[in-house]
Structure 1
Amino acid sequence: MAATSRNEGNANGVRGGGPRCIAIVGPFQSGKTTLLESILERCGGVSRAGSVKTGNSVGDASAEARSHQMSTELNVASVEFLGERFQFVDCPGSVEFLHEMRHVLPVIDAAVVVCEADDRKAPALELVLRELEEADIPRFLFLNKIDTASRRVRETLGILQRASRTPLLLRQIPIWQKGIAVGFIDLALERAFIYREHAPSEIVPLVSEETGREKEARFSMLEKLADYDDALMEDLLGDMEPPRDRIFDDLARELQHRHVVPVLIGSAERGNGVTRLLKALRHEAPGLGETRGRIGVVAEGAPLAQVMKTWHSGQGGKVSLARMLRGRLAEGDVVTSSGGVEARIAGVLAVKGMEQTRKPAAEEGEIAAFARLEGVVTGDALTLGKLRASVVSSVAPPEAVHALAVSVKDRKDDVRLAAALARLAEEDTALTLTHLPEFGEMRLSGQGEMHLRVTLERLAGRYGVSVESSPPQIGHRETIRGKAGARGRHRKQSGGHGQYGDVVLEVSALPRGEGIRFVDRITGGVVPRQYIASVEAGMRDFCQNGPLGFPLVDIEVTLTDGSYHTVDSSDMAFRQAARIAMGEAVPQAKPVLLEPILAVEVVIPSEAMSRASAIVSSRRGQILGYDSRPGWRGWDQINALIPEAEMPGLIVELRSATAGVGSFSARFNHLAELAGKPAEAIVASHALAQAR
Structure 2
Amino acid sequence: MSYNTENIRNIALAGHAGAGKTTLFEALLHAGGVIQTPGSVERGTTQSDTDAQEKARGHSIDSAIASIDRDGCHINLIDTAGYADFRGGSLAAFAAVETVAVVVNAAIGIEHGTRRMMEHARQRGLARVLVINRIDTEGTRLPALVDALREEFGPECLPVNLPAQGGKAVLDCFFQADGETDFSSLAAAHQQIIDQVVEINEATMGAYLDRGEASLSREQLHDAFEQCLREGHLVPICFVSARSGAGVPELLDLAGRLLPNPAEGNPPPFLNGEGEPVTVNPDPRQHVIADVFKIVNDPFVGKLGVFRVWQGTIRRDTQLFVDDSRKPFKVGHLFRLNGKAHEEIEQAIPGDIAAVAKVEEIHFDAVLHDSHEEDRIHLAPMAFPQPMFGLALTPRHKGQEQKLSQALARLAEEDPCLRTEHHKELNETVVRGLSELHLKVMVERMRERYGVEVDTHPPRIAYRETIAGRADGHHRHKKQTGGAGQFGEVFLRVEPLERGGGFEFVDEVKGGVIPNQFLPAIEKGVRQAMETGAVAGYPMQDVRVTVYDGKYHPVDSKEVAFISAGKKAFMDAVGKARPIVLEPIVDVEVAIPESSVGDVTGSLAGKRARIMGTDTQRGGEILIRAQAPLAELTDYPTELKSMTGGQGRYSLDLSHYEPVPPPVQKQLAEAWKPHVEED
Q: Distance in 2 between matches of 1:284 and 1:248?
A: 6
Root-mean-square deviation (CA, aligned residues, Å) is: 3.9
- Tell me by how many angstroms 1:335 deviates: 1.7
Q: Which moved more, 1:293-302 or 1:265-274?
A: 293-302
Asked whether the 8 Å contact 1:597–1:672 carries over to 2, the reply is no
State the alpha-carbon separation in 2 of the partners of residues 277 and 35 from structure 1.
10
2:653 paired with 1:670:
no
2-structure distance, mates of 1:363, 1:234? 38
SS in structure 2 at match of 1:113 = strand
Of 170, 189, 192, 1:184 maps to: 170
The amino acid of 2:296's aligned partner reads W
Within a 5 Å distance, the mapping from 1:535-550 to structure 2 comes to none
1:267 aligned partner, one-letter code: S
The change in CA–CA distance for 1:234 and 1:84 in structure 2 (over 3 A counts) is closer
CA distance in structure 2 between the aligned counterparts of 1:16 and 1:622, rounded to whole angstroms: 51
CA contact (8 A) 1:309 1:427 kept: yes
Counterpart code for 1:306 = D
Aligned residue for 1:450, secondary structure, equals: helix
Distance (whole Å) between structure 2 residues aligned to residue 283 and residue 377 of structure 1:
35
Q: Is the 8 A contact 1:335 1:386 kept in 2?
A: no
Counterpart code for 2:340: M
- Which residue identity does 2:369 align to in structure 1? T
For the structure 1 residues 219 and 662, does the alpha-carbon distance in structure 2 shift closer, same or farther, using more than 3 Å as the test? farther
Alignment of 1:573-612 (within 5 A): 598=583, 600-604=585-589
> How far does the alpha carbon of each residue in 1:166-209 deviate from its partner, in whole angstroms, 9 at most, with x for none?
72011122225xxx3232332123377xxxxxxxxxxxxx35x9
Which of 81-90 and 239-248 deviates more? 239-248
Q: What's the CA shift for 1:131?
A: 0.7
Return closer, same or farther for 1:411/1:305 CA change in 2, 3 Å cut-off.
Answer: same
Work out whether 1:83 is the aligned partner of 2:72: yes
What SS does the corresponding residue of 1:283 show, helix, strand or coil? helix
Aligned mate of 1:127, from 97, 109, 116: 116
Q: Is the 8 A contact 1:596 1:643 kept in 2?
A: no
Larger radius of gyration: 1
Residues 459 and 466 of structure 1 are in contact (CA less than 8 Å); yes or no, is this contact kept in structure 2? Answer: yes
Relative to structure 1, is the Cα distance of residues 249 and 476 closer, same or farther in structure 2, using a 3 angstrom cutoff?
closer
**Structure 1 counterpart of 2:338:** 352
Of 242, 253, 270, which aligns to 2:227?
253
Q: Is it true that 1:614 corresponds to 2:602 in the alignment? A: yes
Q: What is the CA–CA distance in structure 2 between the aligned matches of 1:456 and 1:317, rounded to whole Å?
A: 21
Distance 1:190 1:367, change over 3 A: same
Shift of 1:664: 4.6
1:214 maps to amino acid = L
1:369 correspondence with 2:355: yes
1:589-648 per-position Cα deviation (integer Å, ceiling 9, x unaligned): xxxxxx9773524243899987764342233x264x74799xxxx9985445x473x331
CA shift in 2, pair 1:307/1:643, >3 Å: closer
Matches within 5 A, 1:94-133: 94-118=83-107, 121-133=110-122
Going from structure 1 to structure 2, the CA distance change for 1:382 and 1:17 (only over 3 Å counts) comes to: farther
Quick one: distance in 2 between partners of 1:71 and 1:470? 27
Secondary structure at 1:100 match in 2: helix
Equivalent in the alignment of 1:560: none
Decide whether the 8 Å contact of 1:305 with 1:381 is kept in 2: yes
**Given the alignment of the two structures, is residue 289 of structure 1 paired with residue 277 of structure 2, yes or no?**
no
Counterpart of 2:280 in structure 1: which amino acid? V
Query: How far is 1:119 from its partner?
Result: 5.0
Rate the CA distance shift 1:155–1:333 in 2: closer, same or farther, 3 A. Answer: same
Residues 16 and 113 of structure 2 are in contact (CA less than 8 Å); yes or no, is this contact kept in structure 1?
yes
Answering whether residue 297 of structure 2 is matched by residue 309 of structure 1, we say no
| TM-score, normalised with respect to structure 2 | 0.70
Q: Given that residues 596 and 672 in structure 1 are in contact (C-alpha distance below 8 angstroms), is that contact kept between their aligned partners in structure 2?
A: no
1:41 matched residue in structure 2: 30
Q: Secondary structure at the match of 1:417?
A: helix
Call closer, same or farther: CA 1:154–1:361 in 2, change over 3 Å. same
Please, which moves more after superposition, 368-377 or 228-237? 228-237
Distance 2:111 2:606 in 1: 28
Say if 1:77 and 1:88, in contact at 8 Å, map to a contact too: yes
1:524-563 correspondence to structure 2 within 5 Å:
none
2:163 corresponds, among 163, 174, 186, to: 174
Q: 1:58 aligns with which of 31, 47, 50?
A: 47
Question: Is the 2:589–2:650 Cα contact (8 Å) retained in structure 1?
Answer: no
Q: What percent of counterpart residues are identical?
A: 22
User: What is the Cα deviation at residue 214 of structure 1?
Assistant: 2.1
Q: Structure 1 residue 411: deviation in Å?
A: 1.5
One-letter identity of the residue aligned with 2:288: P
Q: Give the deviation of 1:289 after TM superposition.
A: 1.3
For 1:357-390, what per-residue CA distance to the aligned partner results, in whole angstroms no more than 9, with x for missing partners? 3333333322111112222211111101445151
The residue number in structure 1 matching 2:240 is 266
Counterpart amino acid of 1:63? A
> In the superposition, relative to structure 1, how do residues 288 and 455 fare at CA in structure 2: closer, same or farther (>3 Å)?
same
Deviation at 1:27, TM superposition (A): 1.3
CA contact (8 A) 2:588 2:653 kept: yes
Residue 25 of structure 2 aligns to a residue whose secondary structure is helix
CA–CA distance in structure 1, aligned partners of residues 15 and 395 of structure 2: 37
What SS does the aligned partner of 1:126 have? helix
* Residue 446 (structure 1) aligned to one of 415, 430, 433: 433
Count residues in correspondence: 533
Q: Determine if contact 1:612/1:657 at 8 Å carries over to the other structure.
A: no
Secondary structure, aligned partner of 1:434: strand
SS at 2:5 equivalent: coil
**C-alpha offsets along residues 26-59 of structure 1, whole Å, 9 cap, x if unaligned?**
2111111111111111121011111111111111
Shift of residue 315 of structure 1?
Answer: 2.9
Aligned to 1:293, the other structure's residue is in SS state coil
Deviation at 1:274, TM superposition (A): 0.9
Matched, 1:318 2:290: no
Matched residues in 2 for 1:89 and 1:138: separation?
15
Cα distance between partner residues in 2 of 1:108 and 1:326:
14
Does 1:329 pair with 2:314? yes
Tell me if structure 2 keeps the 8 A contact 1:343–1:374.
no
* Inter-partner Cα distance in structure 2 for 1:334 and 1:62: 32
